[in-house]
Amino acid sequence: MNLRTVKKDFLHNWPIYLLALPIFVYFIIWNYLPMIGNMLAFEDYSARGGFLFSKWVGLKNFADFFQSYYLWRTIRNTLVLSILSIIVNFPAPIIFALLLNEIENEMFKKVIQTISYMPYFVSTVVICGIIIDFFSYNGAITTMLVKLGIRVETDLKSFGLSMPTNFANTDLLNIKSFFRPIYVLSGTWQGLGYGSIIYLAALSGVDQELYEAAKIDGAGRWQQTIHITLPSIAPTVIIMLILTISSLLNTSMEKIILLYRPITYEVSDVISSFVYRRAFVDHDYGYSTAVGLFNSFVSLMLLFIANSLSRRYSETSLF
């Protein structure tokens, strides 16, 4: 396509280009211009000089992070929380959508959907406040564990959790082995319903004649699910998995910061929370920008790798 063709198309379809103009302006202002701030990663930033006139230090900020004690801790915690979230929270909306799809009573189905969607629209601050209250020393969950007594401790130890002999007067968020299960399962509760929307939409597009043919051949519900439903929504599942893998290092900073404590940093401090502390607590903006840029670069590489593998083995990809 040469310049003359583009000009001709623009003159012919100028109303459509005019409608698209606000979108282009939005992305330029809010997505591309802020990228100039990545210069801070290569500077010893000072407010007096600004990002244009601060001292240039090259790759020093990156080198400091790669030599830091916090490098492996933050990467390990980020990967562990993200992988646990993928294992638990990625299949959960799919299973929930499949179960909802089997409900024939439309009224009951809509009630269940509405109830499951509600937590997603609650502010993260409110969600974390509820979690803190429930797992505080006199919270509902803690009280329940206290009433269950020592047998709970024995049962939990069988899962590799080291617990105190008595939960009384114990804030469960101060216990390292509790932080990850609380973070992951609360994410399941919050995102289960909303995450199922896209899979319900995919399920609605499955050809119903396939089910009728399967019934005639004597296939039961389970066989229909395995041989018709899952293959039909597989492209949607793969696309969502690619996007999930690309955000492997992008854990929810707000939720982490609201829930973690210094005593649990060893298992809860992730890259995004580390960047937040270095930027807004230590005021080391160059260092924090370098860490954030490294995180973005790795996420971009994960996106390309996941997309390439998906295109090679399933013929489904983003691009």
CA atoms within 13 A on the CB side of 197: 9
Residue type, 200: L
Tens-digit pLDDT profile for residues 118-155: 999 999 999 999 999 998 878 888 887 777 764 444 44
Chain CA centroid to CA 75, Å = 15
Q: Which residues pair with 56 in a beta bridge?
A: 43
- Distance between CA atoms of residues 256 and 306, nearest Å: 26
Tens-digit pLDDT profile for residues 191-233: 999 999 999 999 988 888 988 898 888 888 889 989 899 999 9
Answer CATH for 59-136+171-314 from 3.40.50.880, 1.10.3720.10, 3.90.1150.10, 3.30.200.20: 1.10.3720.10
Note the pTM of the prediction, 2 decimals: 0.84
Q: Which of 317, 314, 289 is nearest to 303 (CA)?
A: 317
- Distance between CA atoms of residues 41 and 50, nearest Å: 13
**Averaged pLDDT of the chain:** 86
User: According to the model, what pLDDT value does residue 150 have?
Assistant: 42
Tens-digit pLDDT profile for residues 57-99: 989 999 999 999 889 999 999 999 999 999 999 999 999 999 9
User: According to the model, what pLDDT value does residue 155 have?
Assistant: 45
DSSP string, the chain: --HHHHHHHHHHSHHHHHHHHHHHHHHIIIIIGGGGGGGGGGEE--TTTHHHHSEE-TTHHHHHHHTSTHHHHHHHHHHHHHHHHHHHHTHHHHHHHHHHHT---HHHHHHHHHHHHGGGGS-HHHHHHHHHHHTSTTSHHHHHHHHH-HHHHHHHHTTT----S--TT--GGGSHHHHHHHHHHHHHHHHHHHHTHHHHHHHHTS-HHHHHHHHHTT--HHHHIIIIIHHHHHHHHHHHHHHHHHTTT---HHHHHHH--GGGHHHH--HHHHHHHHHHTS--HHHHHHHHHHHHHHHHHHHHHHHHHHHHHHS----
Q: How deeply is 190 buried, as exposed, middle or buried, from its count of CB atoms within 10 A (0-12, 13-18, 19+)?
A: buried
- Distance between CA atoms of residues 90 and 241, nearest Å: 8
Residue 261 vs residue 148, higher pLDDT: 261
Q: pLDDT category, 168, cuts 50, 70, 90? A: low
Range name among 120-129, 157-166, 168-177, 245-254 with the lowest pLDDT average: 157-166
User: According to the model, what pLDDT value does residue 312 have?
Assistant: 86
pLDDT at 156 exceeding the cut of 70: no
